[in-house]
Each structure stands twice: as structure tokens, then as C-alpha cells.
Chains A and B, each alone.
Chain A
Amino acid sequence: MSVHIVPRKIYFSVFAALLVLTGTTVFAATIPFGRMNDVVAMTIAVTKMMLVLLFFMHVRYSSRLIWVIVASMFFWLLILLLLTLTDYSSRSWFGPTVIT
């Protein structure tokens, strides 16, 4: 199995990017975006996760099989989120029972 040698420069720049993004998260928390609060925070978080996944975990340089496995992990996360949301999104459809 061949091992891809990643130049040190890339590791340091990814690390720097992660630090900057962490700072951005803290900074963004002080600005009220209203409904977009979650979207902003999650966008930064997902970007950071992708950097770690692609560069620190070497997924970017890995075989297609590894990509499929990573994709299946995301699919399982999607199951967790979607089926949980079937609960939260439909709770209000059924109003509280009023006993007269």
C-alpha cells in the first residue's frame, strides 16, 4: 500500500486555517444573525470538519473504497438526524389534547 507523503507546508496551513476558523466561530457568536445563527455556526464547523477529514485524515489522497466508507458514515449520520427530525418536525401537527 503506497503512502502519500503530504508536505509539511500543507499541514501547517490547514492548522492555521483551523485556528482562524475557530476564531471566526467565537467572533460570529457575538453578532446576532437571527435565524441564520445556526446556519453560520454550522457552516464554519462543517468547513473545519472537512479540512480535518480531507487533510489530517488523508481521505483526500485515499482510494475510492475509503471514499465510499466515509460516505456511508455520513449516510448513517443522516439516518440519525433525519429520523430524529421526523419526531421534532411533526410534534406540533398534533395539538395538545384538551379534556372538557
Chain B
Amino acid sequence: MSNELTATDARAHEWRSRFPTVNYLNADYGIKSWLLTKDHKRIALLYLVSVTFFFLIGGAYAGAIRLELLTPQGDLVQSQTYNKLFTHHGIMMVFFFLIPSIPATLGNFLVPMMIGAKDLAFPRINLLSWYIYMLGGVLTFSALLFGGVDTGWTFYVPYSTNFSNTYVVLAGLGIFINGFSSILTGLNFIVTIHTMRAPGMTWFRLPLFIWSHYATSLIFILGTPVIAITILLIALERLAHVGIFDPALGGDPVLFQHMFWFYSHPAVYIMILPAMGVVSELIATHTRKPIFGYSFVAFSSLAIAIFGFLVWGHHLFVSSQSVYAGMIFSLISFVVAIPSAVKVFNWTATMYKGSISYDTPMLYAFAFIGLFTIGGMTGVMLAALGFDVHVTDTYFVVAHFHYIMVGGAMMGYLGGLHNWWPKITGRMYPEGWGRFAALVVFVGFNLTFFPQFLLGYMGMPRRYHAYPADVPLWQVLHVMSTAGASILGIGLLIPGVYFLWSMRYGRFAPANPWPATGLEWRTPSPPPTENFAVTPVVTWEAYEYRPVEEMRVIGPGESAEQAAGVQPPLDRAET
């Protein structure tokens, strides 16, 4: 017993000596202190590790898909296996990476800190949401290991109910369970943002990151129950032959698509809205200017969340949906472009005459604006009834949604991770490597997905493992795409390596390395468990940035610990 204590003490001493102050990382030790933690920051790190794990799995499947498409023949895998590869890639990436990525990691970490709270409103529910997420993830992952699913991530009926002989129910059960994790996170955010803002933190002083997470939480709560029930109905029809979707039992297959996309289209906004929140923060911080048209950007998040629920029928244009319904959905889909464009124009206007830095987070913000615009504009093309018929189920659609999901959501996630990495770990990432990786990711991404627009427009259908060899251009484009995917893969591995490296060897981060105005930067890095030494009182508007010229004279301003009269420890002050 005494031996054990000494070992723990030694570990404690070693670990504390690395971080000069007691903070959330070194306040407690051992596996139990992590698995039973109620601290939103530790739960965010639990999520970070798990979404990274599922991302690696999803990425491995993507690699296999690209490898197969290198040649026109099905020589690596046959169609049956290929069906499973893209299904697994989609399920892992959509449900277990993209949807929780920003809200559950950066959102969990930053929502309380940005509003000046000690934690989320329901810390136990927050921990529960991670366990539910892991249970769902393990169930779905086990379905993939036992033999997999081949329905596509969309689980379209009647194939998923009547014909597929794969583990549809088990994979669906995992996704059903995972849905509750999203609902709990959304509920937690809404209650926290309503009730736990620091004194003086009025709604229009909130960082735009908070507004976009509020909008995302609304979608979580209003949309997720519908996908959960829809997947449950598939299981019921497969197992108990309840007639919901099967015409032979009195059901209707198109009803599935209505119910599925009622959630899954807003789910796209679950992925992109938090990324937009991140990008708003990055642009304000790294151009040293308040966001142009703050309230327009704030309300455009809510508008996207609401309009996002009215457009799902654009996925059904060729699914025997009524033409008249198609016209309505097409029109409303065009309308969603307006709040999205409001954001893009306002970010651009923010950069005008700003003191733009080219640090890694800002590079990702640039990438986001460009790639999201391409993804969004091709989305407007797809919302047009006539054009959509031409490119339905082709690589044009695949390229479009990867520009939104990877070019948008992933860039926001990576940019945010770099921007707040000093706050999360107390260490700086290597800036040179960061910029290099950002460029590699940008080049790799475009080389992967831009050729797919051309392939799709020329008629290459999605979800096929082989393609005609007598059109040589197709293979050229596919080779470009596979080469790009390899570059993208390397570009994503580099941050993985230097993030891990920086946790031990990176230089210590000051409380406010950028320096930014948000509350999360007015407390030490890494923050103490209770986030702030004293409850902050907010007397300033959001993004009260000063140009760098002015900053050189009057400095970045006091951090919370300086304001509280705490001297920053020497080894941190020197950085």
C-alpha cells in the first residue's frame, strides 16, 4: 500500500512539475479519474480520443475504396465487398466522426469556458453521453467486424429490410443508441447557454461559436429522435414484418426516405454549423477585427438550423416523389443558400483591411471558406430539379458532399483543434509543421475530390467498384483522386504525430498565445478544473480586437490570473 502511494506520488510530482500550476490535467490521476470524471474538459478529451479512433477506421475504409478504384477492373475487391467498404466508411465517418467531432470535443471543452461557467449544466449527463456514444460505437463496430453491412450508410428500403443478408439490425442498433448521446449533448448545451452565462455575458456578447452550437443543439434535439425511430422501424420490419415501408405489407418505401432525410439532411448542418462557429472565431482572432455583421452571422446560424429542416425532399427528386413536392423542396433548398452566403460574405468583409496572420488555424479558415463555397454552390446546382436528374447518384454528388463535410467540417475541426490546442494541453504545436500540414491537406483534398466532379458530370455512378476501361480519361481522373487521397492521408497523419509530440515536448503555452479576447483565454493554459479562479464579469462586447500595431504598444491585456494577482510561473512566462 505504501509502495503504491509512493509510486502515485512520484508520478504526481513528475506530472505536476511539467505543468507549473494545478490544472484539470494534473488535478487527479489514474484511469478512474478519467473514466468517472464529471469535468467537461476531460470528457471532451475522452471524446477526442474516441472520435479519432473511429476516424482512423473510417479513413482506412476510404483508403481501400480509393485503392480499388485505381484500376477499372474489380481486382482488389469484388462488388459485394466493395458495397461493405463504402457502407462502413460512410457509417463510421458520418455517425461516429463528423456528427460528434466538433460539438463533443471542442464544443464540450469550450462552451462552458466561453460563457464563463464552471462546467456544463448537467456534468453527469455529459459523461453519460460519452458512455452512450461508446456503446453505440462498439455495437456498430462489432457489426462491421462480424461481417459488415452492405446497405450504404443511408439504409434505404426495401434493400435494408427485405434483401440484405448482413448485420443491418446490429449496426442500426448502434446508430440508434448513439443518437441518444447527441440528444443529451444538445440538451446540455441549450440549458447551459440559457442558464449559466457569466454576469454581463448577454446573448449578443456571446462568441459566434456559442450561437452556432446553440443552433446545432436545436437540430440535435429536434431531428435525432426521428432517425432513431426510423432505424427502429427498419429493425421492426426486418424482424417482426410490421408493414411500414414494404408495399406488400401496406407500407411505402419512399416514406423511409422522407423520414431518413428529415434527420439526415439537418445532420449535414450539425456537421457544418459548429465548423462555421469555429471559423468565425478563427477569422476574428487571426485578422484582429470584430466579425462584420455579428448579429447577421448569429441569426444566420439559427436560420440555417430552421430552414435545414424544410429541404429534405431534394434527396428524393428521382425517388418517385411527386414533381410538385420536388418543386417546393427545390425552392426552399435555394433559400438555404442565403444564410450560408451571409456568413461567407461577412467573413470576407471581416478580413477586409484586417491584420491577417497566416498561422495554421487561419490557413484552415481560408481553406474552409473556399472549399465550403465550392461545396455550397454545387449544392445549389444539385437543388435544381433538371440538373439533379442528370447527376443523381454520380460522383458529382460524392464530390459535392465531401467538399461540405471534409472541405467544410473537417477544415473547421482541424483549424479549431490547432487554435485551442494551447488551451487544451498547455503546449504549443510546432507552427512550421502546422502550416506545412495545412497545405498538404488542402492540396490532397482538392486533388482527391475535384476530379470526382468531372467524373460525376461525365456519368461515373457512385457505389460501383468497377468502371469502363475504354474511356481512358476516367482512369486518369480516378488515379488523380487516389493520389490525392494518399496525400490527404499523409497530411492528416502529420498533425496526429506533432500533436502527440507537442503534449510532451512542445513549448509551454501562455494563457493567451494569439492573443484573443474570448473568456477561455483569460484563464491559465491548461485551465484549472473550475475553469476560472473567480467568476468573470463581462464588461466588453464580443471580439473587441485591437490591431497588431496598437497591441505592440499596450500588450495583449491581462489574463485572468494576472487580474487576480497570481504571478504566472516563470517557465510559462518566458514563452
Partner-B contacts on A (CB < 8 A): 73, 76, 79-80, 83-84, 86-91, 93-94
Contact = CB atoms under 8 A, between A and B. Distances in A.
A81 B321 CA distance: 15
A73 B321 contact: no
15 contacts: A76-B309, A79-B309, A80-B226, A83-B310, A83-B313, A83-B329, A84-B255, A84-B258, A84-B262, A86-B322, A87-B258, A88-B322, A90-B322, A90-B323, A90-B324
B310 A91 contact: no
Q: Which of A84, A89, A91, A93 has the most CB of B within 10 A?
A: A84
B211 to A, nearest CB: 18
B473 interface: no
A90 to B, nearest CB: 4
Interface string B307-324: 001101100100011111
A76 B316 CA distance: 20
Which 8 residue pairs spanning A and B have beta carbons closest together? A87-B325, A90-B324, A91-B322, A90-B322, A86-B325, A84-B258, A87-B322, A87-B321
Nearest to B316: A87
A86 B324 contact: yes
B322 A94 contact: yes
Contacts of B222: 73, 76
Contacts of B226: 80
Interface in B313-365: 313, 316, 320-325, 328-329
A63 B258 CA distance: 34
Contact of A87 (B254, B262, B309, B310): B254
A48 B214 CA distance: 33
B313 A93 contact: no
Contacts of B309: 76, 79
Interface string B127-160: 0000000000000000000000000000000000
Contacts of B324: 86, 90, 93-94
Contact of A93 (B262, B316, B322, B329): B322
A79 B254 CA distance: 17
Contacts of A76: 222, 309
Contacts of B316: 87
Given A86-B322, A86-B325, 14 more contacts: A76-B222, A79-B309, A80-B226, A83-B310, A83-B313, A83-B328, A84-B255, A84-B258, A86-B324, A87-B316, A90-B325, A93-B322, A93-B324, A94-B323
Contact of A86 (B254, B255, B259, B328): B328
A79 B305 CA distance: 14
A73 B222 CA distance: 7
A46 B310 CA distance: 25
Q: Which of A80, A87, A88 has the most CB of B within 10 A?
A: A87
Contacts of A93: 322, 324
A84 B255 CA distance: 8
B253 to A, nearest CB: 13
A95 to B, nearest CB: 11
Contacts of A90: 322-325
Contact of B313 (A87, A89, A91): A87
Contacts of B328: 83, 86
Given A84-B258, A87-B258, A87-B316, A79 B310 contact: yes
Interface string B501-523: 00000000000000000000000
Contacts of B310: 79, 83
A83 B255 CA distance: 12
Nearest to A91: B322
A80 B262 contact: yes
A1 to B, nearest CB: 11
A55 to B, nearest CB: 21
B226 to A, nearest CB: 7
B323 to A, nearest CB: 5
A76 B431 CA distance: 46
B260 to A, nearest CB: 12
A86 B472 CA distance: 45
Contacts of B322: 86-91, 93-94
Contacts of B255: 84
B441 to A, nearest CB: 37
Contacts of B323: 90, 94
